[in-house]
Amino acid sequence: MMEILFISGVSGAGKSSAMDVLEDLDFYCVDNMPLQLVPTFVDLIENAGYQKVAIATDVRSVPVSADIENCDAYLDSRHIAHSIIFLECGNAELLKRYKLSRRRHPLMQDKDKNIEHAIERERKLLTGIREKADYIIDTTFFKTPQLKERLLDILHEDKTEGMKLYSMSFGFKYGVPSEADLMLDVRCLPNPYYVAELKPKTGLDKEVRDYVLGSEKSKELFQKTADLISFLIPLYEAEGKSQLVIAFGCSGGHHRSVTFAEEIAAYLGEQGFSPTISHRDIEKV
C-alpha cells in the first residue's frame, strides 16, 4: 500500500535537507510538484510498486486552499495514506541563512528586492497548507542531524499509539518555538540561576528539580498543568490532531523549563503515553 508524505514550508527552512533524509530512507522523492498534479501522478505510479513517496511542494507550486482540499479528498477517496510535514523557521534565522547561501528568495521581484517582504508574503501564501499540516517542525535552532532525528521520530512512530506527544523546554531569550501547541511560561518559579551551587547545573539534575518544585506554589502549578494537559489530549485526539507539542519556557532554558518538561514527560509516561523530550537551549551559554 502506497503512502505519500508531503514536505512543505517556508523557503530556507530545510526542505531540501528533509528530502535528502527521506531519499536515504528509500522514499521515492519528487521535488516541487504542484498539488494539482497529484491525481495524475498517483495514476501514473500506482502500479510501479512504490511503497513510500515524498513530494516536496514550495510557495511556487502551492495552490489555493480549495485545491489543497481537493488533493486531500482525492487521496482519501483512493484510500491512500498521506500526511503533511510543514517546516517553519524564524525570520531572523531565515535572513541569516539567505545571507550565507547568497540564494535568491523565490518571491523576490525586480521591483521589490526586500527579502523581508518576500518572507512575509510567502507565509501568507502558505497559510492554507500550514493549517492542514499533520506535523510542524521549527528548524530555527536545528542543524541537519537534528532535523533528521525529528523526521525519524515522526516516521517511525507506531500509528496505533494515537497522537504523538512532545515535551520541550526553551529559553525566552532565544525566542519562542513556533511549533508549540501549548506554551507555559515558568519564569514565575524560583530561579536556580541565582543559587551559586545550582547555577552550573540544569533541570536534568535532581538538585535543580527539587529546588524548582520545592514550594507549594510550584507543586500546585505542576499539578494544574498536568490536569490541563490530561483534559486536552482526548479533545485534540477527537479532532484528529497527529501531534501535540507542549513547550515550557524560562529565561535561559536551563533550569525551570527543563524541570517542567522532564516532570510532565514523566507524568505522561505514567499515564501510558510515550512522549518525546527535547531541550532546545540547554547547551546554550
Q: Kindly report the number of other CB atoms within 10 A of residue 181's CB atom.
A: 14
Domains contained in the chain, number: 2
Domain boundary among 156, 175, 198: 156
Residue 160 confidence (pLDDT)? 45
Tell me how far apart the alpha carbons of residues 209 and 143 are, in angstroms, rounded to a whole number: 29
**In terms of domains, do 61 and 118 share one?**
yes
Residues 95 and 213 grouped into a single domain: no
Q: Which of 98, 128, 156 is at the close of a domain? A: 156
Q: Alpha helices of the chain — where are they, by DSSP H?
A: 15-24, 38-45, 65-77, 91-101, 115-125, 127-132, 144-155, 206-212, 216-238, 256-270
3-state secondary structure of 242: coil
Q: What is the mean pLDDT of residues 50-73?
A: 80
Residue 122 and residue 201 in one domain = no
Pair 20, 148 in one domain? yes
Range of the domain at 152: 3-156
Residues 168 and 125 in one domain: no
Residue 9 lies in a domain: yes
Model pLDDT for residues 19-33, shown as the tens digit of each residue: 999 998 889 999 988
Residue 284 lies in a domain: no
Q: Give the contacts of 246 (CB within 8 A, at least 6 positions apart).
A: 165, 166, 167, 168, 180, 181, 182, 183, 184, 229, 261, 264
> For the chain, what's the residue count?
285
Looking at 136, 156, 176, the residue that finishes a domain is 156
Quickly state the pLDDT bin for 63 (edges 50, 70, 90): low
| pLDDT attached to residue 84 | 93
Q: What is the distance of C-alpha 83 from the center of its chain?
A: 14
- Please give the model's pTM, rounded to 2 decimal places: 0.69
pLDDT category, 64, cuts 50, 70, 90?
low
142 with 229, same domain: the answer is: no
